[in-house]
Structure 1
Amino acid sequence: MQFDLLHVGPLVALAHILGIIAAGHAILNTRTSQGAIAWAVSLVSMPYLTLIPYLFLGRSKFAGYADARRVENELLRSRAYPQQWDSLASSAGLPTQQLGTRPVQSLTRLGGMPFLPGNAVRTLVNGTATFTAILDAIEHARHYVIVQFFIVRNDALGEMLKDALIAKAREGVRVYFLYDSIGSFDLPHRYVAALRAAGVAMHPFATNRRFVNRLQLNFRNHRKIVAVDGERAFVGGHNVGVEYLGAKPPLSPWRDTHIEVRGPAVASIQFVFVEDWYWATQQLPDLELRDATAGDEPVETSDTADAPAGNMHCLVLPSGPADKQETCSLYFVEAINAARERVWITTPYLVPDEAVFAALRLAVLRGVDVRIMLPSRRDHLVVFAASKLYAYDSLRAGIRIFRYQPGFLHQKVVLIDGVAAAIGSANLDNRSFRLNFEIMVLTVDRGFALEVETMLLNDFAASLEIDRDEYRKAAAWRRMLMHVARLFSPIL
């Protein structure tokens, strides 16, 4: 026993010393005070459990990466931005009458992209509808296809996508495929090799481009983008995996939403992909339209050729850890503040920061109908526990909370009054606010808002509205788990 203590004692002391040093680093470098407190407390009290995770996940304010990415983005936006931003984004065409002057101005400045008129958008309310539409668009591609997902699995759906892209590449269509290196960590090499052998340009997205960044795992590209020939683009919550088709009990049936966009906003969505592709490869994808029957000469064709006429205003809002502002969090704050009648939000995770939670509470005080729909089943234990405590706090503030009953709810939708709707990849949590690369598409159109309202009403009908008893009647150990989980909310 004396021999063991002689060896274990110094190790325990060393762990605590390193924990104190790491806690000091967290206080100096973590972006928010909540995050600094969460890391500092856990590193000092439980260094044996948190030192290694902090090494990989704790550097949310990673200046070297953020500066490099920001410089590249600014360079691209000054040299290669879509012409539609100049030709179609006029002050006369902005939807200020419907949404209000202040939100329109702030959101365009926040995202660095304009509201663009003349778009048509439709909802794709499940995995079958989403991937049927995506695969159909790929099948009819004539010039190029761009694909970007956070998770790509080597399962039945992954094989379908792979076969579709290989077929188009062999026809001479240019195919670009970007996947997140962390979200798709288990994607086998043979899957990537088969696509590359067929001529598909396929690359992982990683923030650790330099050796000094090798331990950086906190920043993840959570975007889901598909675009074909500059005519059709798809954005939403689905990744590539059979669970998104509802084929993975006990989470099935999976509830998620994608949208198909046609019109000038497609160019904005493509440009978000261009920024990510350039970071990953240091090359620009060739998205110029060419006539496949006339060699490599460019053809005179509209980016919206064969697309149905539309009159929606759309704003593409990308966000990420390299932004000068905390774009995603501020987007939610401004969207909530713009509401006068209602704010309905669906999200798989409810872990808001103080700014967003304050905006939700103030909306209730203004008399706004504030509803949040959450899953009743969990896919991540700690996040689910923290979400339960935030749900209880929300109920006490007068926010109505619903739990979707049929299966796992993964959709990310925001409905503002009867005017605007936003759909994309961002969750209502700190990871989306500050750590992930996300994309949302905000539409201002009463007809589409009504379509989204109808969709959400169907979801509410399949949901159970909860009250404070969900927390109060929970076992003591479950309530303790909720409070402990909330300590880690800044990094969940």
Structure 2
Amino acid sequence: MTALLGGLLIVCMHLLGMLSGIVALMSSRTSQGAVAWIISLITFPYVAIPAYWIFGRPRFYGYVNARGQRDTALRRVLDQFRSKVEPTFAYPDRAELRAVERLAMLPMTRDNRCELLINGHATFASLFDGLDQAQDYVLIQFFIIRDDALGTALQERLLACLQRGVAVYFLYDEIGCHAMPDRWFRRLREAGAHVHQFGSSRGWRHRFQVNFRNHRKIVVTDGRRGWVGGLNVGVEYRGESARHGFWRDTHLVVKGPAVLGLQESFWEDWYWAAGEILTLSWQPIPSRGGRQNVVVVPSGPADPLDTASLMIQHAINQASERFWITSPYFVPDQGVQDSLKLAALRGVDVRVMIPERPDHLLVFLSAFSFLGEMIRAGIKIYRYQPGFLHQKTMLIDSHSAAVGTVNLDNRSFRLNFEVTAWVADRGFAAEVATMLEEDFDNCRLVTLEEIQRRPLWHKLAARAAYLASPVQ
């Protein structure tokens, strides 16, 4: 009897593995990911089935449903203010900018002013100054927050906001902040702050949906100023960690109507996390002296398209002179890889800046499996030397640049909620070019010879890591 039950269990597991394989075949967003899951589910169903239903889901279905509700509940709120916002629309005449607008599902606006914030000290000085000047409300969202000196400094600034009557809405990722003690958030709540975690596993239907992350870093004050970029909250982001040493990162402070794009991204996330519609100011405030056209591009696993990957492919395809990009993690999908190669082959100066030292070993190893092909195509790969490179910036020719949270890997392309500020302005592009040129001076150029002379074990490990990249 025991043997019969054991045999039935084995048959059921393999049948369930095959059924799960069919689901993976029909729903996986990359062929590489589908093949990896199908082989695992059929061969090792006992391990692969729970792993697939926890880590393999291609869409954040709960958020998709919430977004559908938003189209009735939230959209009615926005429609009330559309007449006020429309005069600030830039109506770009270049086709590449219209495509970015459609990917963003938000308009490009004019009369903005964006200021680069290079590294942690500049970023948090600007952010803390903005919090000190807030008068009505603060929206604040980070992927990682540390209970350290910088986290305490942020907490004190927010408590000061609350004491003078400023409303504080605080959103954090449940996975990114898993090590944070509840007392840190409880102190804010007791002072009157509205604090929620962005829980991808909310509700019984989505309790195993833990592979998605909200990787956005957004702060908005009064609908007038907004901050976005690569920095989280922790002393390492100011270069004060013995483990990481110097930390190279870039953030952006935005003034002008584009701030409402950052605000809408937060607003939608808050609706998912807290189930409430925030009452905010939707009056666009043009920046004094600002002339920049900006579109905010939120992206994530609830989008109908692979927004982040398509945005980067589009930027590469539009470049005619140069395309420079930086990322701490470099495992782009095949579409981005092919676009980079084609750009280099048509004579574009294509440069990719990545760290010298690994932060995540599997991601670091994965890149070695295709770097040789890229170098042969004419792409220049630079490794940053002074410390850990964490910035996510992009330069397209001399007319556009972008700063945001998107890494060049499958997680950012398909599993994370991300946000990017795309700035179509020659002056800003020149500032980004100057910044990146200084960074390139602190890099070494990767050669084809060093890729080729790796030992066999390293080549095998790199290939195995790359094959696993769709499910990382």
TM-score, normalised to structure 2, is 0.93
Q: Residue 458 and residue 16 in structure 1: after superposition, are their counterparts in 2 closer, same or farther (change >3 A)? A: farther
Q: Residue 387 and residue 172 in structure 1: after superposition, are their counterparts in 2 closer, same or farther (change >3 A)? A: same
Q: Residue 148 and residue 370 in structure 1: after superposition, are their counterparts in 2 closer, same or farther (change >3 A)? A: same
Q: Residue 85 and residue 36 in structure 1: after superposition, are their counterparts in 2 closer, same or farther (change >3 A)? A: farther
Does residue 1:356 correspond to 2:354, yes or no?
no
Does residue 1:80 correspond to 2:90, yes or no?
no
Is the CA contact (8 Å cut-off) linking 1:350 and 1:391 kept in structure 2?
Answer: no
Name the CA distance, whole Å, in 1 between partners of 2:468 and 2:254.
36
Name the CA distance, whole Å, in 2 between partners of 1:6 and 1:231.
69
Name which of 37, 40, 65 aligns with 1:39: 37
Name the CA distance, whole Å, in 2 between partners of 1:25 and 1:222.
27
Does residue 1:320 correspond to 2:317, yes or no?
no
Does residue 1:279 correspond to 2:272, yes or no?
yes
**Local SS of the residue matching 2:37:** helix
Does residue 1:420 correspond to 2:400, yes or no?
yes
Alignment of 1:147-296 (within 5 A): 147-288=140-281
Shift of 1:87: 1.9
Q: C-alpha deviations, 1:85-110, integer Å up to 9, x for none?
A: 4121153xx2x3xxxx2112211112
In structure 1, the partner of 2:366 is 386
Q: Please, which moves more after superposition, 183-192 or 456-465?
A: 183-192
The one-letter code of the counterpart of 2:163 is R
Shift of 1:40: 2.1
Shift of 1:414: 0.6
The one-letter code of the counterpart of 2:160 is A
Alignment of 1:297-312 (within 5 A): 303-304=284-285, 307-312=287-292
Q: Please, which moves more after superposition, 107-116 or 419-428?
A: 107-116
Name which of 342, 345, 348 aligns with 2:325: 345
Q: Residue 167 and residue 393 in structure 1: after superposition, are their counterparts in 2 closer, same or farther (change >3 A)? A: same
Q: Please, which moves more after superposition, 74-83 or 252-261?
A: 74-83
The one-letter code of the counterpart of 1:244 is Y
Indicate the RMSD between aligned Cα atoms, in angstroms.
Answer: 2.4
Shift of 1:131: 0.8
Name the CA distance, whole Å, in 1 between partners of 2:277 and 2:117.
30
Is the CA contact (8 Å cut-off) linking 1:85 and 1:113 kept in structure 2?
Answer: no
Shift of 1:19: 4.7
Shift of 1:329: 1.1
Shift of 1:366: 1.8
TM-score, normalised to structure 1, is 0.89
In structure 2, the partner of 1:294 is none
In structure 1, the partner of 2:62 is 65
The one-letter code of the counterpart of 2:389 is L
Is the CA contact (8 Å cut-off) linking 2:119 and 2:249 kept in structure 1?
Answer: yes
Shift of 1:25: 3.2
Name the CA distance, whole Å, in 2 between partners of 1:424 and 1:28.
31
Is the CA contact (8 Å cut-off) linking 1:318 and 1:439 kept in structure 2?
Answer: yes
Is the CA contact (8 Å cut-off) linking 1:255 and 1:409 kept in structure 2?
Answer: yes
Q: Please, which moves more after superposition, 31-40 or 333-342?
A: 31-40
Name the CA distance, whole Å, in 2 between partners of 1:348 and 1:382.
13
Alignment of 1:436-447 (within 5 A): 436-447=416-427
Name the CA distance, whole Å, in 2 between partners of 1:400 and 1:198.
51
The one-letter code of the counterpart of 2:26 is L
In structure 1, the partner of 2:89 is 89
In structure 2, the partner of 1:292 is none
**Local SS of the residue matching 1:350:** coil
Name which of 106, 109, 116 aligns with 1:116: 109
The one-letter code of the counterpart of 1:401 is I
Is the CA contact (8 Å cut-off) linking 1:424 and 1:439 kept in structure 2?
Answer: yes
Is the CA contact (8 Å cut-off) linking 1:405 and 1:462 kept in structure 2?
Answer: yes
Q: Residue 429 and residue 134 in structure 1: after superposition, are their counterparts in 2 closer, same or farther (change >3 A)? A: same
Shift of 1:183: 1.1
Q: C-alpha deviations, 1:355-411, integer Å up to 9, x for none?
A: 212211221122111110001111111111112223233213221100001111111
Name the CA distance, whole Å, in 2 between partners of 1:20 and 1:471.
39
Shift of 1:341: 0.3
In structure 2, the partner of 1:297 is none
The one-letter code of the counterpart of 1:304 is I
Name the CA distance, whole Å, in 1 between partners of 2:75 and 2:441.
44
Shift of 1:28: 2.9
Q: C-alpha deviations, 1:317-375, integer Å up to 9, x for none?
A: 11111112221111111111111100000011111112212211221122111110001
Q: C-alpha deviations, 1:141-161, integer Å up to 9, x for none?
A: 111111001111211111111
Is the CA contact (8 Å cut-off) linking 2:21 and 2:38 kept in structure 1?
Answer: yes
Shift of 1:13: 8.3
In structure 1, the partner of 2:468 is 488
Q: C-alpha deviations, 1:63-89, integer Å up to 9, x for none?
A: x42530330343324532654541211
Shift of 1:197: 0.3
In structure 2, the partner of 1:135 is 128
In structure 1, the partner of 2:119 is 126
Q: C-alpha deviations, 1:442-486, integer Å up to 9, x for none?
A: 101111111100100011000011012332222221111110011
Name the CA distance, whole Å, in 1 between partners of 2:450 and 2:116.
32
Is the CA contact (8 Å cut-off) linking 2:59 and 2:302 kept in structure 1?
Answer: no
Q: In structure 2, list runs of 5 or more residues that go unmatched.
A: none
**Local SS of the residue matching 2:462:** helix
Name the CA distance, whole Å, in 2 between partners of 1:265 and 1:38.
41
Q: C-alpha deviations, 1:42-81, integer Å up to 9, x for none?
A: 444555664443232111235x425303303433245326
In structure 1, the partner of 2:430 is 450
Name the CA distance, whole Å, in 1 between partners of 2:131 and 2:227.
11
Q: Please, which moves more after superposition, 40-49 or 126-135?
A: 40-49
Shift of 1:223: 0.5
Is the CA contact (8 Å cut-off) linking 1:31 and 1:61 kept in structure 2?
Answer: no
The one-letter code of the counterpart of 1:33 is S
The one-letter code of the counterpart of 1:393 is E
Identity of aligned residues (%): 45
Does residue 1:335 correspond to 2:315, yes or no?
yes
**Local SS of the residue matching 1:471:** helix
Shift of 1:12: 8.5
**Local SS of the residue matching 2:196:** strand
The one-letter code of the counterpart of 1:265 is A
Q: Residue 471 and residue 275 in structure 1: after superposition, are their counterparts in 2 closer, same or farther (change >3 A)? A: same
In structure 2, the partner of 1:373 is 353
Is the CA contact (8 Å cut-off) linking 2:108 and 2:295 kept in structure 1?
Answer: yes
Name the CA distance, whole Å, in 1 between partners of 2:174 and 2:409.
21
Is the CA contact (8 Å cut-off) linking 1:72 and 1:279 kept in structure 2?
Answer: no
Equivalent pairs, count: 467
**Local SS of the residue matching 2:317:** helix
